[in-house]
Amino acid sequence: MSPSPVYLDAATAAPTHPVARQALLAALEDGWADPGKLYTQARRARQLLDAAREATALTLGVRADEVSFTPSGTTAAHGAVLGGLAGRHRVGSTLVHSAIEHSAVLHAAERHVGAGGTVTVVPVDRLGRLDLGTWSSAVRAPGVALAALITASHEVGTVQPVAEAAAACADVGVPLYVDAAQSVGRVPLPAGWSVLTASAHKWG
C-alpha cells in the first residue's frame, strides 16, 4: 500500500473547505448574474454577495460595509498601500515598512518611489522579527503617510509584534496597513490596524 501524500504548502494555498466548496457551487449555480441589477437572477447574486461579505465581516470583527473583495491578495495589497498613500498625500509622502514585506507590498513601494515618494525600510533581527525601536522612530519622523507590516512570514514563520507596532503608529496618528494573509483563519487578528488584507485561498 502506498503512503498517503503529505501536503506541506498551506502557506501558499490550502485545500478548499467543504463549506467553502458548497458556497462556491451555490454561487456558480445561482450567483452568475450582475449583482448591481434589479432582475430576479441579479437579486439572487446580490444576496449571495451580501451574505459572503457579512460572513467575512463577522470573522474579521468589522462592519460589512468595511469589507471589499478583490481578485487577489496582490491586488488588495497594492490597493491598500497605494490607496492609503494617496489618501494621506497632504500629510506626507513617506511609506514605512519592514524589510520582510511580501513582494506585493515591495512592488507597491517601488511604484510609490517612482512617482516621487519616499520609503523607510525598518530592519529585522536574525529571526526575522521587527526592530520595534527603529520602527517607533521611523513612524515618528515628519511626513510619514502610512506604515505597512506583515503579520507573519510565510517562509520562516516569524510572527511580528503587530499590536506593539500599531500602538507606536497610533501614538503619532499614522495609519497601519497589515498584510494578514498568513494569519487570518489561523490565529486571532492583531489589534490596532487601520487597513488589513488577507487571501481566503490560504485557509481553504
pLDDT tens-digit series, residues 133-189: 999 999 999 999 999 999 998 788 899 999 999 999 999 999 999 999 999 888 888
CA atoms within 13 A on the CB side of 154: 20
pLDDT score of 9 more than 90: no
Mean pLDDT, to the nearest integer, of 22-40? 92
Q: Is the pTM of this model over 0.95?
A: no
- Return the closest-CA partner of residue 7 out of 144, 204, 151: 204
Q: What is the pLDDT of residue 154?
A: 79
Neighbours of 33 (CB within 10 A): 15
pLDDT score of 1 more than 80: no
Is pLDDT larger for residue 190 or for residue 122?
A: 122
Question: What DSSP string describes 2-40?
Answer: PPPP----TTT--PPPHHHHHHHHHHHHH--S-TTS-SH
Q: What is the pLDDT of residue 74?
A: 94
Burial class (CB within 10 angstroms; exposed 0-12, middle 13-18, buried 19+) of 36 = exposed
What is the rounded distance in angstroms from the CA atom of residue 99 to the CA atom of residue 12? Answer: 20
